[in-house]
């Protein structure tokens, strides 16, 4: 049963090794990737089911004694994140089969994506602060590799910015890890939960917490450290952009949630207030910047930023309900955002452009695609009964319940502004009459192959299902929120299991 | 000793920040390297400063140097090494393709 | 690079460094040393070779693609975790066997994996830089 914890990390790695060592051709390596993604989905589904049965699972790697060894821990939050990762991974792998050029495949697209997935799952599952850093670096390396696969000049400068920002955040991260180790003598997060409370020098603990917050704020694109994100994402190939947009910033959000519920709860007045301020500014600045854009993928990139603000707001309010809202928001957002990026690729295929001014008339020519855009876009904007409505409702309700009326009102207003952006894409790309023909290198497609449309529609279905059957999801999220607020279960499982 | 080491760290970080804020890729890379040296060093000394202690537990000494920061710093160096190599390759490629080493990829304005 | 001194010295040193790397790898079993340092030393040897003879010669000399070396290394390291499962212990637990006087274990296999992975990574970076 404990083997289950290593599977989400090991499976993609094994798949990567197979695809490099055997040197498969295009069709076969795509098939292998889809097969690997299916296995991964089974493993993480099974992991989630086991976690629901046992609450918290712990695996001590290499059987070293606690707390010196490195452990993998899966509680409700981690298991849910791993499952959602494998859903997106599967959708992106199916989509990639038709989208990836032979050159990209030869530069190691599939192995790099598999490593990226392994590293993301590792970050979700680890119970050790230093190990978290290692997984983050692996995520970075894999994403760098993917980013420069095909290198037009525009992508190189954004890649340099991305690398520089992330290396800077690494510097903060190592510095904070060093401080924490110097203060407590441990890096196991469950152990830290107890030891941090005993440190006399509370100012230094808060300092370390703020350094960590900066490190993960860069990774999750919080205000004012988000500028690398819109500079990067719109230059990537479509499936890569979908996977990055869905997962990468959310790993940062996950790390913030884990650290600021489990470890740094000694000085909530400073840390969580700061998070709250950053969350609000992130929400507002992201959505405001999106309003001025005319490129679909730039609009979507700026919306990632404002949505991350919602999630961090849930963490900052710091009640079980708010944390449950954050988890629902994470699940909703990852599905919807990855889906929207996939759809943006289809819009480009259908009209030849990502620029809204040059698109139009899709509602008449591509009915199914319109549906495929409509559902995630208006879920993102928070229309009932789609998943986004419940996610926003939970966050706003939690804000109001905790007495943060201003925050609740801001979240609602930002939701309205999201509607504005989504309606802009809808009217420009779908309702407006087709603009003058564009001289684009991509020949407009009338029929979109099923291999591209299938993942989009499946993710749409998932969005609708989560919205309609909210009750079990909400129950799950509430348990997860309770687990995060009072981590004694987690601590007991880790410390007792050594 | 403590003062000397703290001063070293401070100077390294300061130089790193200065270089990082320049608009040229090469100095940005140098700044990043300098800063990661400084934090690796910082990580290393979180095991406290000692002299003349056995590296691994030895039967005839009661105390020993804390091995964990050494392991951590080794990992951090490995990762930093890989990252630096990657950044250098990337910067070289960007510099060659865009014919400028400005971080925004824009050619310099001639005076 | 055209330098007779460097070229002659390299011819002598490469073999020596590779042997030293193997020594370091095996020494890492119980003493300071190990896969990573060994890979760095042999990576340096290959760097010297690439500088004097050129990257194309290096590619021919190592025969295998560096990414394949790195992946084989990862596969070996990952495989080293599995024997523990058969012994009913968590993944990556060290398992030791006694062969005559020497005790060999899965950590050695893991170290060989690390050696290959790091070596593959260094050589591919080296080639990327040299061929630029």
ipTM associated with this complex: 0.89
> Nearest-CA neighbor of A476 among A90, A86, A79?
A79
CA-closest candidate to residue A247, choices A67, A116, A399, A99? A116
Sequence-distant (6+) residues with CB within 8 A of A248 are A120, A139, A143, A219
The CA-CA-CA angle for residues C17, C21, C27, to 5°, reads 140
Backbone φ and ψ for A276, nearest 5 degrees, come out as: -65, -45
Chain B positions in Cβ-Cβ contact with residue A160 (cut-off 8 Å):
25, 28, 87, 90-91, 94, 103
- Give me the pLDDT at residue A215, please: 92
Alpha carbons A328 and A346: distance in angstroms, whole number: 27
Chain C interface, mutation test: which of A63, A131, A138, most C Cβ atoms within 10 Å?
Answer: A63
CA distances from C121 to A18, A268, A274, C43 (A): 18, 43, 41, 9
Residue ranges covered by each domain of chain B: 2-98
How many secondary structure helices (H) and strands (E) does chain A include?
21, 2
Q: How confident is the model at residue A450 (pLDDT cuts 50, 70, 90)?
A: confident
Contact B80, B36 (CB under 8 A): yes
Q: How confident is the model at residue B87, as a pLDDT?
A: 84
Per-residue model confidence (pLDDT) at position A330: 92
* pLDDT band with cut points at 50, 70 and 90 for residue A118: very high
Q: Is the Cα dihedral C44, C49, C52, C54 positive or negative?
A: negative
Of A56-65, A82-91, A153-162, least confident by mean pLDDT is: A153-162
Cα-based torsion angle of the residue sequence A28, C125, A155, B110 in order, rounded to the nearest 10 degrees: -160
A20 touches chain C (CB under 8 A): yes
Is the pLDDT score of A398 beyond 70?
yes
Q: What average pLDDT does this structure show over B3-32?
A: 90
Nearest CB to B93 within list C36, C121, C132: C132
Domain that holds residue A264: 3-496
- Structure token pair of residue A374: 């409509």
State pLDDT tens for residues C104-117: 788 888 899 999 99
Task: Report percent pLDDT > 90 for chain A.
Answer: 31
Residue A39 has what pLDDT? 93
Structure tokens given for A349: 């295929």
pLDDT of residue A114: 92
**B22 pLDDT higher than 90:** no
Confidence of residue C132 (pLDDT cuts 50, 70, 90): low
pLDDT value of position B111: 45
- Give the start-to-end residue ranges of the domains of chain C: 4-130
> Does residue C24 have a pLDDT over 70?
yes
Least confident of A67-81, A144-158, A274-288: A144-158
Q: Residue B67 above 50 pLDDT?
A: yes
> Are the beta carbons of B32 and B87 closer than 8 angstroms?
yes
The answer to whether residue A138 neighbours chain C at the CB level (below 8 Å) is no
Reduced to 3 states (helix: H, G, I; strand: E, B; else coil), residue A290 is helix
Residue A168 has pLDDT above 70, yes or no: yes
Q: Flag the least confident range among A14-18, A247-251, A429-433.
A: A429-433
- What kind and span of H or E run contains A310? helix A296-317
Q: How confident is the model at residue A498 (pLDDT cuts 50, 70, 90)?
A: very low
* % of chain B surpassing 70 pLDDT: 91
Domain count, chain A: 1
pLDDT in tens, A261-278: 988 888 888 888 999 999
- pLDDT (0 to 100) of residue A150: 66
Q: Average pLDDT for residues A475-491, to the nearest whole number? A: 89
DSSP code, position A119: H
Residue-level pLDDT at A82? 94
Select the residue from C72, C79, C90, C128 to test the A interface by mutation, using most A Cβ atoms within 10 A: C90
Please tell me which of the candidates C68, C75, C90 has its beta carbon nearest to residue A61.
C90
- CB-based contact, A16 to chain C, within 8 Å: yes
Instruction: Please give the average per-residue pLDDT across A339-368, as a whole number.
Output: 81
């Amino acid at each position: 049963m404990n083997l289950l914890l290593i599977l989400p990390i090991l499976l993609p790695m094994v798949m990567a090794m197979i695809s490099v060592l055997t040197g498969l051709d295009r069709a076969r390596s795509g098939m292998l990737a889809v097969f690997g993604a299916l296995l991964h989905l089974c493993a993480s589904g099974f992991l989630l089911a086991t976690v629901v049965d046992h609450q918290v699972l712990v695996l001590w790697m290499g059987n070293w004694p606690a707390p010196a060894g490195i452990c993998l821990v899966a509680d409700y939050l981690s298991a849910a994140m791993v499952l959602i990762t494998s859903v997106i991974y599967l959708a992106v792998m199916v989509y990639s089969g038709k989208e990836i050029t032979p050159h990209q495949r030869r530069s190691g697209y599939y192995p790099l994506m598999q490593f990226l997935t392994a590293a993301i799952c590792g970050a979700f599952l680890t119970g050790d602060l230093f190990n978290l850093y290692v997984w983050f670096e692996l995520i970075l390396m894999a994403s760098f590799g993917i980013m420069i696969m095909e290198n037009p000049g525009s992508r190189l400068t954004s890649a340099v910015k991305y690398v520089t920002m992330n290396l800077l955040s690494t510097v903060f991260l190592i510095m904070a890890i060093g401080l924490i180790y110097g203060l407590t003598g441990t890096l196991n997060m469950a152990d830290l939960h107890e030891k941090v409370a005993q440190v006399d020098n509370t100012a230094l603990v808060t300092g370390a917490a703020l350094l960590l917050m900066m490190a993960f704020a860069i990774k999750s694109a919080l205000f004012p450290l988000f500028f690398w994100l819109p500079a990067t994402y719109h230059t990537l190939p479509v499936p890569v952009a979908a996977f990055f947009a869905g997962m990468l910033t959310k790993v940062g959000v996950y790390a913030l949630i884990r650290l600021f519920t489990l470890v740094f709860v000694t000085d909530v007045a400073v840390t969580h207030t700061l998070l709250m301020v950053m969350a609000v500014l992130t929400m507002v600045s992201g959505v405001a910047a999106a309003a001025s854009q005319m490129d679909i993928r730039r609009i979507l990139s700026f919306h990632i930023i404002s949505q991350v603000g919602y999630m961090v707001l849930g963490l900052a309010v710091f009640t079980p309900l708010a944390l449950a809202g954050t988890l629902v928001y994470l699940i909703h957002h990852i599905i919807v955002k990855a889906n929207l990026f996939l759809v943006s690729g289809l819009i480009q295929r259908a009209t030849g452009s990502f620029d809204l001014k040059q698109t139009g008339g899709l509602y008449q020519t591509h009915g199914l695609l319109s549906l495929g855009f409509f559902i995630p876009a208006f879920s993102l904007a928070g229309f009932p009964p789609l998943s986004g409505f419940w996610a926003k409702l939970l966050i706003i309700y939690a804000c109001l319940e905790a007495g943060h009326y201003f925050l609740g009102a801001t979240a609602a207003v930002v939701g309205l502004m999201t509607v504005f952006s989504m309606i802009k894409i809808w009217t420009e790309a779908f309702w407006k009459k087709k603009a003058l023909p564009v001289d684009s290198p991509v020949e407009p497609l009338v029929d979109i192959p099923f291999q591209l449309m299938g993942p989009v529609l499946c993710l749409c279905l998932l969005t609708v299902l989560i919205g309609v059957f909210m009750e079990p999801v909400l129950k799950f999220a509430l348990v997860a929120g309770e687990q995060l607020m009072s981590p004694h279960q987690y601590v007991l499982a880790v410390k007792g299991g050594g | 000793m403590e003062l000397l080491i703290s001063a070293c760290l401070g100077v390294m970080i300061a130089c790193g920040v200065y270089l990082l804020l320049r608009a040229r890729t090469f100095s940005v890379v140098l700044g990043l390297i300098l800063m990661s040296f400084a934090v690796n060093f910082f990580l290393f000394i979180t095991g406290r400063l000692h002299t003349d202690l056995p590296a691994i537990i030895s039967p005839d000494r009661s105390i020993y140097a804390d091995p964990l920061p050494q392991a951590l710093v080794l990992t951090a160096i490995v990762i930093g090494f890989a990252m630096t190599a990657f950044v250098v390759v990337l910067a070289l490629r960007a510099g060659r393709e865009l014919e400028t080493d400005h971080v925004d990829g824009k050619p310099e304005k001639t005076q | 690079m055209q330098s007779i001194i460097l070229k002659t010295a390299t011819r002598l040193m490469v073999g020596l460094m590779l042997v030293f790397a193997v020594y370091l790898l095996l020494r890492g079993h119980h003493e300071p040393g190990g896969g990573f340092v060994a890979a760095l030393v042999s990576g340096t040897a290959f760097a010297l070779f690439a500088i004097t003879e050129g990257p194309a010669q290096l590619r021919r000399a190592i025969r295998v693609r560096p990414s394949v070396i790195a992946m084989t290394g990862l596969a070996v390291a990952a495989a080293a975790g599995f024997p523990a499962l058969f012994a009913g212990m968590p993944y990556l637990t060290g398992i030791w066997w006694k062969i005559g006087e020497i005790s060999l274990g899965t950590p050695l296999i893991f170290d060989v994996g690390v050696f290959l992975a790091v070596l593959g990574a260094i050589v591919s970076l080296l080639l990327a830089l040299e061929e630029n």
